[in-house]
Amino acid sequence: MIPEFHALVAEKRVAVVGNAQSLNSKTYGEEIDSHDVVIRMNHSGIFFVGDERYDNEEYDLKSAVGSKIDVWSVWDTENYHFWVSRIGADHPGVVPGPIAAPKMVDTLNGDDGVKVNVLDLGLGFNKMTKGFFWLPKGTPLKYQNPLAKKEFEHEYNEKYANERDLKALLWRKFRNPSTGVTVLHILDAFNKNIKRKNRDQVQSVNIYGFDFKETPTFSSPKEKIEMTEEGKRLCFFKHDWFVERDSVLKLCDDNKRWNLIQ
């Protein structure tokens, strides 16, 4: 399962950093950066350091979230590339997203390919039947628009899209799994599969910036969060946050040296 990802995290201290707004009031940045491997996701806080909307007298964003990134995990690179490639560009009729961060361009695009390892979960529309895609540092992002994604997927499909069973399991369990819970279950699958084969496991996992929508993500401070009559906490993407919270707590119980830090 994603051999390059396993090789990167095997026997390593891993930090998985979410984007809950509650993280802004903490000072975990230095602690997060001290891990061997730091996994961040989607509109990560590091892309907003220096942005006065989120990094101001109220919050010291770098002190809160740190700056190191070894893996950028995204729900769908097609979506993210669409937005970051158009920031500041003259594209008639295309308006950059309200939470787009210019620093995402620098992180995603380099002269010799993508600058950090990217874990594309393929959680966009019509992607649930496909696996996960691992883009090692230096991989050229050939596609400049969504239509060219098919060529890219064909090239990487055999090597990186073999996790359909896990993906289907998560889909059945969560109906619409978030990026964060998906990454944690991939790490858990490493430990379970590797333990049976007597191979190196992930040494430890510390989880930051996960509060299961008690607060919005800091990059969407006006995000609407509501409680349904059935007792569910919902946001725009309709993740079942209480189910995800219970699952993450169980992962921490099942795996030695896994900690949810709040």
Task: Please state which of the ranges 43-47, 107-111, 247-251, 254-258 shows the lowest mean pLDDT.
Answer: 107-111
pLDDT digits (tens, 9 = 90+) for 113-133: 778 898 888 876 555 556 788
Cβ atoms within 10 Å, residue 209 = 29
Kindly state the average pLDDT of the residues 232-247: 83
**Domain limits at 151?**
3-260
Q: What is the pLDDT of residue 52?
A: 78
Q: What is the pLDDT of residue 180?
A: 95
Domain count, the chain: 1
The three-state secondary structure class of 258 is: strand
Q: What is the pLDDT of residue 159?
A: 59
Kindly state the average pLDDT of the residues 217-221: 72
Task: Let me know the angle formed at the C-alpha of 115 by 15 and 218, rounded to the nearest 5 degrees.
Answer: 50
pLDDT digits (tens, 9 = 90+) for 21-67: 899 889 999 999 999 999 999 888 888 888 777 777 777 889 999 99
The three-state secondary structure class of 128 is: coil
The answer to whether residues 67 and 29 touch, using CB atoms and an 8 Å cutoff, is yes
Dihedral, 135, 1, 185, 229 alpha carbons, nearest 10: 80
Kindly state the average pLDDT of the residues 176-190: 93
CA-to-CA dists, residue 208 to 88, 113, 114, 117, 134, angstroms? 32, 29, 25, 20, 23
Q: What percent of the chain has pLDDT over 70?
A: 73
Q: Is the pLDDT at 196 greater than 70, yes or no? A: no
Nearest of 119, 94, 116 to residue 106 by alpha carbon = 116
Q: Hey, which of 179-183, 224-228, 238-242 has the most confident mean pLDDT?
A: 179-183
The answer to whether residues 132 and 73 touch, using CB atoms and an 8 Å cutoff, is no
The three-state secondary structure class of 197 is: coil
Q: How far apart are CA 10 and CA 3, in angstroms?
A: 10
Q: What percent of the chain has pLDDT over 90?
A: 31
CA-to-CA dists, residue 100 to 37, 150, 215, 227, angstroms? 25, 25, 19, 27
Q: How far apart are CA 162 and CA 189, in angstroms?
A: 13
Q: Is the pLDDT at 227 greater than 60, yes or no? A: yes
Q: What is the pLDDT of residue 47?
A: 85
CATH number, domain containing residue 191: 3.90.1480
Q: What is the pLDDT of residue 94?
A: 41
Q: How far apart are CA 244 and CA 258, in angstroms?
A: 16
Cβ atoms within 10 Å, residue 105 = 17
pTM reported for the whole predicted model: 0.86
Q: What are the start-end ranges of the E strands in the chain?
A: 13-17, 37-41, 71-74, 117-120, 133-135, 204-208, 226-227, 233-234, 258-260
